[in-house]
Amino acid sequence: MTTAPALAPLVARTVAISDPGPLLALLPPGPSLAWVRHGEGLVGWGEVLRVTGHGESRFDTAARTWAEVAKRAVIRDEVRLPGTGPVAFGSFAFSPSSPDGGALIVPEVVVGHRGGTWWLTTISADGALPTPVTLTQHERIMQSPEGTVFTSAREPREWMDAVTEAISRIKGGEVEKVVLARDVVARTAEPVDPRDLISRLANGYQNCWTYSVDGLVGATPEMLVKLERGLVTSRVLAGTIRRTQNDEQDLALAASLARSSKDLEEHEYAVRSVAEALAPHCTTTNVPDSPFVLHLPNVMHLATDVTAVLADGTTSLDLAAALHPSAAVCGTPTPAAAKLIEAVEGMERGRYAGPVGWVDAAGDGEWGIALRCAQLDAEDPHRFRLFAGCGIVAGSDPASELAESEAKLLPVKGALSR
Ligand SMILES: C=C(O[C@@H]1C=C(C(=O)O)C=C[C@H]1O)C(=O)O
């Protein structure tokens, strides 16, 4: 493993393979890298190169180093799709002041699946030919464990007080919208294999992008940015309602969400922040007039898919850096909302709500917002930190926001506890 651009170029070889079975079941023991939706995507393991960044420049350092590494790489790619050849998985802290910074990790082995194509990429960083690998399916435990204890890091009452404080500051004109989050610590009775957690999330939340990077595991419904051969897409979410598990009632709730002025206002801020951040890099940007309602097993969200055509050579990672933090996870206007978060949220977000995803040597890639996630404790396989946040506007109600945060915690809570 190397921490700076390797002295020797990366050597990467991609070959087409026949269907090796479900991607997530290929992950061997050890740190897992994954980006999977509807069974397609990428999984990786081993680590031939790690690029880290800190502070305001965490994205820039990573993006510049990756561009350099990709330019020097020796690539034999027989498949030539986005995600073939060498790739780096990455995850970045929400705040520039976070000690977590950001990391790009280049795995030794990547297996990808897209449409009817499967591929295997092997990578080395010592100038030698990559080592051949044999793929094996590992059986996963799909049933969640019993006996898990969840503890709110901050008393729910105190968090609601912070929401009340934010609402009064919004009414005082300090910001229009701010996203406040809370964290919950999960302690499981038995050590949890993160691969089981990943598989349960992917199974339960198939419309989401299930990810695992550097100990951060989750299933996000929100695509910050995807870049594929010049086409940019972003799925913006903001405006949420809990599901009741009664289909008829949920349909009525979906209709009320689509008409709720509070949620539409919250949503509008988020869409605008994305469209404005994309504009300098794109020729045409297409923003639909009104959002649709995205149905997930636990909640429904107002959603807008923004599309654009890239005008310059910006990579997916550069675009993620330009879009972060969107109003969906920070607020409007951004600098004042970020300050308000620091002042009242009362926690260190770490990599929650930061970009998580992958980039290939051409710059194509997918970067989601790290939501609905657990940060694994590096030392203790019984301990996980979970996060959930809510957009607060003048019309918000603290008790409803607390309930919304609980609904957003459900995916990870359900994967960690029966
Ligand atoms: C902040 C979170 O979710 C974000 C906030 C939303 C909202 O306030 O309605 C909806 C989706 C996400 O953009 C989270 O899940 O932790």
Which residue has its alpha carbon closest to ligand 1 atom 2?
A: 389
* Pocket mutation for ligand 1, best pick of 201, 240, 242 (most atoms within 8 Å of C-beta): 240
**pLDDT for position 50:** 98
Q: What's the rounded mean pLDDT across residues 197-225?
A: 98
User: What radius of gyration do the chain's Cα atoms show?
Assistant: 21
For the domain made up of 11-416, the CATH class stated in words is alpha beta
Please state the pTM of the whole predicted model. 0.97
> Which of 47, 222, 265, 268 is flagged as catalytic?
222
Q: What's the rounded mean pLDDT across residues 208-235?
A: 98
Which residue has its alpha carbon closest to ligand 1 atom 6?
A: 238
Is-catalytic flag, 177?
Answer: yes
Burial of 26 (0-12, 13-18, 19+ CB in 10 A): buried
pLDDT at residue 210 is higher than 80: yes
Q: How far apart are alpha carbons 231 and 282 in whole angstroms?
A: 9
Q: What's the rounded mean pLDDT across residues 288-296?
A: 97
pLDDT tens-digit series, residues 228-280: 999 999 999 999 999 998 999 999 999 999 999 999 999 999 999 999 999 99
Q: What's the rounded mean pLDDT across residues 73-93?
A: 98
Quote the tokens at residue 62: 């990573």
pLDDT at residue 6 is higher than 80: no
- Is the distance from CB of 77 to CB of 14 less than 8 angstroms? yes
Quote the tokens at residue 362: 């051409």
Ligand 1: nearest atom to the Cα of 408: 15
Which residue has its alpha carbon closest to ligand 1 atom 1?
A: 389
Pairing mode, strands 11-17 and 74-77: parallel
What interface predicted TM-score (ipTM) does this complex get? 0.99
For the residues of 375-416, what is the DSSP string, one character each?
EEPSS-TTEEEEEEEEEE-TT--HHHHHHHHHHHHHHHHHHH
Distance 68 CA to ligand 1 centre (A): 35
Distance 301 CA to ligand 1 centre (A): 8
* Pocket mutation for ligand 1, best pick of 222, 235, 386 (most atoms within 8 Å of C-beta): 222
H-run or E-run covering 317? helix 316-323
Q: What's the rounded mean pLDDT across residues 296-316?
A: 97
pLDDT at residue 218 is higher than 80: yes
pLDDT tens-digit series, residues 260-270: 999 999 999 99
pLDDT tens-digit series, residues 36-49: 999 999 999 999 99
pLDDT band for 380, please (50, 70, 90 cuts): very high
| Ligand 1, CB within 6 Å, residue ranges | 179, 181, 222, 237-240, 301, 328-329, 371-372, 387-391, 408
Distance 59 CA to ligand 1 centre (A): 22
Burial of 312 (0-12, 13-18, 19+ CB in 10 A): exposed
* Pocket mutation for ligand 1, best pick of 268, 345, 371, 392 (most atoms within 8 Å of C-beta): 371
Delimit the domains of the chain by residue range: 11-416
DSSP for residue 289: S
Distance 132 CA to ligand 1 centre (A): 42
> Which of 108, 176, 177, 265 is flagged as catalytic?
177
- Torsion angles phi and psi, residue 384, rounded to 5: -135, 145
Distance 328 CA to ligand 1 centre (A): 6
H-run or E-run covering 59? helix 58-72
**pLDDT for position 4:** 52
Quote the tokens at residue 139: 């059986």
Quote the tokens at residue 125: 């960083």
pLDDT tens-digit series, residues 98-157: 999 999 999 999 999 999 999 999 999 998 998 889 999 999 999 999 999 999 999 999
**pLDDT for position 2:** 43
Which residue has its alpha carbon closest to ligand 1 atom 10?
A: 238
- Torsion angles phi and psi, residue 160, rounded to 5: -65, -35
pLDDT tens-digit series, residues 155-200: 999 999 999 999 999 999 999 999 999 999 999 999 999 999 999 9
Distances (CA, A) of 292 to 41, 233, 239, 368, 375: 25, 16, 11, 19, 30
Q: Average pLDDT over the chain, rounded to whole?
A: 96
**pLDDT for position 81:** 98
Share of the chain above pLDDT 90, in %: 96
Distance 114 CA to ligand 1 centre (A): 28
Q: How many CB atoms lie within 10 A of CB 414?
A: 16
Strand runs labelled E in 80-176 = 87-92, 102-106, 109-114, 117-124, 149-152
